[in-house]
């Protein structure tokens, strides 16, 4: 039994889970800043970015110690490498949340979003936060089924993103090019945030089962 190895891998996953929680909270508050044109919230998020750097450095240190001290081989090595990849996905999610805050700050004191699309972004923000919490949950439990289920919220996010474009492409769009560019970029930030959360889930599936999601589905068939 590789008890120490598994304990240290679980400790790495706890740090990755903490990164997910920070990312979810950041996206929640960034969405608030966006919807409410709240400059104070946006600036606070951008000032606090060092917190993620600390978590990321901690995760990297734990992963390197696993490599150096536990000499993982075969499947274990792939599990540790997955830890590095998960950290990169979460860090990207965090940066995307900060991009949302930056748009809110840039357009202040005016709201960045026209009224027609505010409902879309309220729902996209809700889904993004739920995905971040879901990623944290599967890192804690290594529940492959729950990890795969993150794809349902990603599909919902993709649907919202497509519908958002139907609004932008309407010939009657009255808000000009600058607003259209903002909405396009913001929609992309939320959509990519969801994609990275699903990538975390896919990597957790591998940690839990030693198989990719596609291999699991083939085995089920």
Decide: 94 and 134 in contact? Cβ < 8 Å.
no
Decide: 124 and 157 in contact? Cβ < 8 Å.
yes
The CATH architecture that domain 3-211 belongs to is: Up-down Bundle (1.20)
Decide: 113 and 35 in contact? Cβ < 8 Å.
yes
Q: How far apart are CA 15 and CA 59, in angstroms?
A: 6
The CA distances from residue 210 to 55, 96, 149, in Å, are 26, 30, 18
Question: What's the gap between Cα 101 and its chain centre?
Answer: 15
Decide: 166 and 62 in contact? Cβ < 8 Å.
no
Among candidate residues 172, 164, 153, 156, the one with its CA nearest the CA of residue 119: 164
Ordered per-residue pLDDT tens for the chain, 221 residues: 578 888 999 999 999 999 999 999 999 999 999 999 999 999 999 999 999 999 999 999 999 998 888 777 777 888 888 999 999 999 999 999 999 999 999 999 999 999 999 999 999 999 999 999 999 999 999 999 999 999 999 999 999 999 998 888 887 889 988 999 999 999 999 999 999 999 999 999 988 888 888 887 777 76
Domain ranges of the chain: 3-211
Q: How far apart are CA 131 and CA 129, in angstroms?
A: 5
Q: Give me the pLDDT at residue 88, please.
A: 96
């Amino acid at each position: 039994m590789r008890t120490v190895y598994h304990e240290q891998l679980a400790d790495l996953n706890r740090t990755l889970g903490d990164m997910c929680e920070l990312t979810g909270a950041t996206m929640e508050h960034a969405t608030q800043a966006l919807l409410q044109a709240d400059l104070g919230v946006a600036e606070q998020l951008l000032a606090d970015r060092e917190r993620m750097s600390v978590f990321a450095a901690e995760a990297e240190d734990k992963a390197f110690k696993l490599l150096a001290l536990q000499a993982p081989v075969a499947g274990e090595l792939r599990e540790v490498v997955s830890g590095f990849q998960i950290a990169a996905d979460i860090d990207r999610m965090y940066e995307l949340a900060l991009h949302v805050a930056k748009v809110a700050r840039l357009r202040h004191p005016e709201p960045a979003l026209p009224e027609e699309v505010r409902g879309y972004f309220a729902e996209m923000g809700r889904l993004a936060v739920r995905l971040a919490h879901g990623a944290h949950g599967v890192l804690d439990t290594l529940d492959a089924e729950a990890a795969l289920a993150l794809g349902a919220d990603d599909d919902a996010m993709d649907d919202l993103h497509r519908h958002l474009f139907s609004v932008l492409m309407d010939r009657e769009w009255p808000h000009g090019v600058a607003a259209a560019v903002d909405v396009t970029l913001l929609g992309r930030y939320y959509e990519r945030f969801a994609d990275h959360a699903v990538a975390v889930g896919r990597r957790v599936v591998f940690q839990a089962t030693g198989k990719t999601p596609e291999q699991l589905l083939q085995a089920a068939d």
